[in-house]
Each structure stands twice: as C-alpha cells, then as structure tokens.
Structure 1
C-alpha cells in the first residue's frame, strides 16, 4: 500500500523534529507523485518503499533549509548575477560544456555533495574539509563525466520543489502530468536554495544546467531576466538512444526491481520530442538575443573556440589563465578518455525513422548543429 502525502510529511517531521516546509507550490507535485506511485508502482513493494524514503528525505531537506533561513536569512541577501543556463536534449554534450565552463572561477556552480545536502552552506576556503565532500574520487563512468568537485545538474533542487518529471523513478504517469502543468513556483524556490548555497561561498554568477530546461524556458527567462541560454544540439537519433540507456541505468539504481517494458522507450521519445517543441515555441517568445546554439560536434572538435563564442555572446571576458585551464581539461577529457558507452534504439523498441519523424520540426530548424 502506498502512503498518503500527509503520512510522508508526518514521517519527515518525526525524523527531524521540524515542521516548516517553506514557500508554497510543493504540495501539488507531492500529491501527484504519491498518486503516480499508486498507479504505476503499487505492485512493486520494494520500489514503493524506495520512492517513499526518497520523498521523506526531500521533505526533511526542505525543513532543514527553512530552519537555516529562520536564523540566517540576512546571510542570503546577495542576489544571483545574470546566470548562464545550459539547456538542450539529454546526451548532447551538456555535461561536457558544463565542466568546460566550470574551469572559470568567475562562475558558481553546484557540486554533487552540496546540492544533495545543502545545509549548512559551504564556506569558501573550508570546502576541502567539509564533511559532506567525498574523500575518494568517483569511479570512471561510461555515461557521465564525474569529479568530486565537478559541476552537477540542478534538477535535485527541482526535486526539492516537487516540480520535476522524475524520469529516473518508475512513475511515468507523473512525467505526463508534469509536462502539462505550470511551474510558477519553481524558480523562486531554486533561487532560495542558490542564495543559501552562495551565502558564504561566492561568486554569485551561477552556471546552471539541466536538460529539463527545454520545458521551463518561459519561467526561467521571466524569473531571471538577465539570464542567457546556451542551447546544445545533436542528432536526436543518437541522443535519444543514449538517453534511454542512461535513464534505464538510473532507474535500476534507484529501484533495482524495475526493468524496461515496451512503453519505456516510446514514453521517453514522446517526453523529449514534446520538450523541444515547447522550447522552440518559447524561444520565439523570449527572443533570439538570449540564446546561443552550439552543436555537440563543435564542443568536441573545438572546445576552447566554443567557449570563446559563449563568452562573446554573454559579454564576459575569457582570460588567458582560464583559457589554458579549459584547454587542459578538454585534452584530458577528449573522446576515449572514459569507458565506451554502448547503446541502441532497438533495445528500447524505437527506430531511427520514428525518432527522426518525431523530431522533424526540430531537425528542420537546427540541422546545421545536429550531427551524430
């Protein structure tokens, strides 16, 4: 049996002794996650148990954030300076670009160890000794570039807001609901968490990245009027095959009893094809001056030149020391530096023709950036 949202909140309260869950807007997402767990996973008790534990953990983290704000709100007064936001389909070199640009100390970015456990905020100069920071480097991963202090996606903050598609959980009906709902409270909450995190660890210009931004551009552009967006591209045939493999691996890690069914691949095809359609429409409304398009092949073949284009686009200065750091990082992380990631569309019930058809308007518009 799946627990109610009220019982999950009660479990979180009992766990930490706190009650304040912060600004509104989170309850609708939690309610729908509970309903989706009932619909999609109730026949798998192990999956239900793991999902509920994760939701309780998120509620506890929200309560801890509010406890911090009740005592330290003045310390979070510094606003966010014009963030640079990386957006694009998954598996289009968003991570490589994120890591490349993170060589610039002028950017503040999320580290995995702080985004998953943000309270108390890290302190500049003491981070190496922070007890949350792993002492052992992560193992090489064929799907992801990983580093102890490397940049992390900001979707965990979206998950704390209960405003996330949850593709790595076996609750596909939640993703359907999420992409059809509004997100007015997401970015105010994201900023609340980011202000906490940079309270004692400047700078305040954030480098943010998550593929889910393809669904969220209107809200992001409105909340951060000085934000600029770098949109990455790749042939969806290759990108979606890699995405299916990556999401499947993440779901197995979260809920080991899960395995892909016939609907898994088609559901991801629908999700991301809808996402790029929404992004294309949003770009027209927001204005082309806030977007720069970059192909994965450009990031791989000329990473520093790509960075130079981005800095020119944003009006920032790329100094020689940072340029050298970027070049060294790119040389150490070129193709072949990690174990090969092997995947195919056919494993997930998809075909190249079907993917190409679903992304036809996108390919027509961005063909010059889309290579496999």
Structure 2
C-alpha cells in the first residue's frame, strides 16, 4: 500500500524517546563542566574493536591518517549530542572490526587473492540522482550481483550459498535499520533502505577511512577537506579485497556497484578497476542540492545538538559542485589522451557528443529519462557497453517497478530557501555542468 499522502520536510526534526532526551540532556550538562566529556578516543576505539573482533592486525598503516583526522574532526567540529557520540563511536568501531575481519579472512584464505573482479558496473553521480533506483534494477539481472546492505558491514566471514538468505547477520542489520527508523522515520521516504536490498559500496571504502559517507552523519569540515584530495587508491584496493572475499564463497559473474562517492575520485577507481563500466546519472542541480541538503540535515538532527540548515545547504552544494567538477576533469584528461576521441568530439557528430563517453567506459543517463522509462534506460545502458539484458532480467525489473512506485514510503518535499540558497546562484555555479551534460530543468 502506498503512503504517498505522507509528506516529509527538511525541518521535520526527530522526536526522541524520553530516555534519549535524558541522555542528551545529561551529556550537555556534563560538557559544561568538562568540555571534553564524551569525546571519542582513537586509542579506545582501536582497543574496543580489537577486543570485540578478537583480532589485532589492521594491516598496512594507510588507514590510520583518515581515521585520526575523522575522529579529531568529529570531536572538534561535529557539535554532537551524547546520542550522536555513541552513534558515531559505534560506526567507527564497527568499521575497524570489519577491517580486522576482512584482512584476517584474506590472510587465512590466500585463494581469495586469485578472485578476479572483471568489468564491474559502477553507478555514480551526485546524490539524489536516481542511483538507488538504478542499483535496485541492476540487482534484478541474474548476471549481476550487488553488495547488499547487511553484507556491507559484515564482509567477513563471507556468506555462502547455503546461508546467504538466512545468515544471522541479516537480523542484526534489520534491527539496526529499525533503530534508525525510530529515531528518524522520515529518512525512509527520502532514501528507502532494507537489509537485503543493494546498498552503497561506499562503506567498503570506509575500511580505509576514506569515504564521503561519514559526512552524512554530521558536519566534519576538516575531514571533508582532507577527503577531497587524499590518495584513494589504497581505499579502492581494500574495496577490491572486500569484493574478492565476498566472491570467494559465492561465484559471481559481474558486480553491479553503486555510490555517489565514486564521483569524487574516478581516477583512483579506474586505477584499481581499469575496465569499470561507469554509469553517471545526471539531474537538475536545483533539485539535487535541495534534496541532498534535506536528507543530510535530517540525519544530522539525529546526532547533533542543533542543525544549522544554512551551513548544511552550503556545505553539500559545494561538495556536489566539487564532485561534478573533478569528475568532468577526469574525463577530459582521458579524452585528451585519445586523438580519435578528440577529433570526433570536435566534429559535428551529434550522436557521439550526446554520449560524452571516454572510450565507451562511461554512460551518461539523465534522471528524467530514468524516471520516464526505467527498464528502457537499463537496456540502453547495456547496449552502450555491448551487453545483453535477458528477458528474465527485463521482466523482473518491470515487476519491481510495479511493486515500488516512487512515493511508496511518502513524499519528500524541500525548498532551497530552507537552506539559505538562491536558485539563480546555484544554477549559475553549476552552469558548466548543466551545459556539458545537457541536463534538462526539472519542475521550473
């Protein structure tokens, strides 16, 4: 049954239970006396992770820099409530444990290194551009495999064919999603999630503590600045290791991966996955910026003392602009190294210009096209990469669309002025992006 009558707005803050309000109140009072009360400790987080996992070896120290910068940024800039400190501490400890278990499993099962991750489909684009819908559709193709939400935090030991549907970690993931739903029920209308649905593989990058997903939990400016220019190759190498571990027990033909976070570092993605088939989704930036600011301000409200909506809006507007800028610059560098590509682009070949691909490794997909014809969009994407969508995959996708209308979990409403942003100014800042990718305006 559709809940499309429910409307969710960015200013709809969480309604905490009495115990949570008491916890936050106590923490707030304690910090008046001891300003450092409740701050995260890198040493304590590492020790707790090692004790919980029963393991000690974190492997190469490349993870440490991002870990320390993130914890320091959370402590000094996050303005977290006591609940937020517990949540972020839990996220970081779980990430440390995941890293320990992945490296331990790979060490004890050297055959993992022989697993080949070939020509993965990688869906990316600014947040709120249809990447989740496309990811869900791709997972319905029997040839594809996505990282499921419950697997993302429990890579090792990897599930097997016999327990993949009833692994006890699925129940743990459902329980965790239920807690978020209670604290921030409006999130489901903005970004539907479930333990057994595909999720962003961004959490695998988090094993190196180089991931934009940490910033969805609060405003961590220093970490965000560092992330934009850090060396992401080790993060993608750990990402690949996670896929190898998962694939070692369940044979996999082709991975279908998704996260907007890839857009920030396409160079590192291609360094580790040189044959990746990238799908870049495009949408009117006025809709993107308002939607992503709305989603993140709702998540921040769960963790912080007070949400500065204008700051969240400016921050994510800038982050989205940076993402499309560096993503385009990467493609331009690849194009400039291909004489034939450059000559064809400079010609008046309309069909070729519309594709805007680099050696056919990138497919540009408009959000409007995806919403208007989801299954047809997937077919066109497959044709671009010289792949074939089976009749079974096509029928599954069509059936899924009938079961999952866009407003199934409610309607997400937002305006740019809620975040102190001027539509004309945003359009101007994203002008080059809009022109290059011929992004149509949406509802204006």
Answer yes or no: same fold by TM over 0.5. Answer: yes
- The aligned residue for residue 412 of structure 2 is 341
- Change over 3 Å in CA distance of 1:243–1:368 after alignment to 2: closer
Question: Is 2:150 the partner of 1:103?
Answer: no
Name the one with the larger helix percent: 2
User: Residue 320 of structure 2 aligns with which residue?
Assistant: 272
Contact 1:218 1:282 survives alignment (8 Å): yes
Q: Measure the CA separation in 1 of the matches of 2:147 and 2:283.
A: 25
Are 2:319 and 1:282 aligned? no
Task: Work out which of the residue numbers 376, 380, 398 in structure 2 matches 1:327.
Answer: 398
Q: How many residues align?
A: 371
What secondary structure does 2:124 align onto?
Answer: strand
Aligned to 1:159: 206
Query: Which residue in the other structure is 1:87 paired with?
Result: 124
Q: For structure 1, which segment, 82-91 or 32-41, has the greater mean C-alpha deviation from structure 2 after superposition?
A: 32-41
**Shift of residue 96, structure 1, vs aligned partner:** 0.7
**Deviations, residues 197-241 of structure 1 (Å, cap 9, x unaligned):** 111112141111111111111111121111111110110001111
Please state if 1:296 is matched with 2:367. yes
Structure 1 length normalisation: TM-score?
A: 0.93
Deviation track 1:175-202 (CA, whole Å, cap 9, x = no partner) reads 1221132212111110011111111112
**1:71-119 CA deviation, whole Å, 9 max, x = no partner?**
2231452110210101111111111111111110111111111111222
CA distance in 2, matches of 1:261, 1:368: 27
Query: Quick check: 243-252 or 219-228, which moved more?
Result: 243-252
SS in 1 for 2:193: coil
2:106 matched residue in structure 1: 69
- 8 Å CA contact 2:291, 2:414 repeated in 1: yes
TM-score where L is the length of structure 2: 0.78
CA distance in 1, matches of 2:262, 2:103: 26
Greater Cα offset, 306-315 or 35-44: 35-44
**Unpaired runs of 5+ in structure 1?**
none
CA RMSD between the two structures: 2.2
Q: Give the drift of 1:68.
A: 1.4
Equivalent residue number for residue 389 of structure 2: 318
| Distance of aligned partners of 1:368 and 1:49 in 2 relative to their CA distance in 1, 3 Å threshold | closer
Q: Are the counterparts in 2 of residues 252 and 258 from structure 1 also a CA contact under 8 Å?
A: yes
**Partner of 1:48 in structure 2?**
85
Shift in CA distance, 47/333, structure 1 to aligned 2, threshold 3 Å: closer
Cα deviation, residue 70, structure 1: 2.5
SS of structure 1 residue aligned to 2:62:
coil
TM superposition shift of 1:63 = 1.2
Partner secondary structure for residue 231 of structure 1: strand
2:215 aligned counterpart, secondary structure? coil
Distance (whole Å) between structure 1 residues aligned to residue 265 and residue 440 of structure 2: 22
Contact 1:24-1:185 at 8 Å conserved across structures: no
Compared CA separation, residues 45 and 131, structure 1 to 2 (3 A):
closer
SS of 1:19 mapped into structure 2: coil
**Contact 2:282 2:439 (C-alpha < 8 Å) held by counterparts:** no
Instruction: Quote how far apart the aligned CAs of 1:246 are.
Output: 1.0
- Between 144-153 and 288-297, report the one with greater CA deviation: 144-153
Larger CA Rg, structure 1 vs 2: 2
Secondary structure of the structure 2 residue equivalent to 1:167: helix
User: Would the alpha carbon gap of residues 345 and 312 (structure 1) be closer, same or farther in structure 2, given more than 3 Å must change?
Assistant: same
Q: List per-residue Cα deviations over 1:149-198 (Å, max 9, x = no partner).
A: 22111111122210013222322321122113221211111001111111
User: 1: distance between equivalents of 2:420 and 2:391?
Assistant: 48
Q: Which runs of 5+ in 2 are unaligned?
A: 1-35, 336-357
Change in 2 beyond 3 A, CA 1:33/1:147: closer
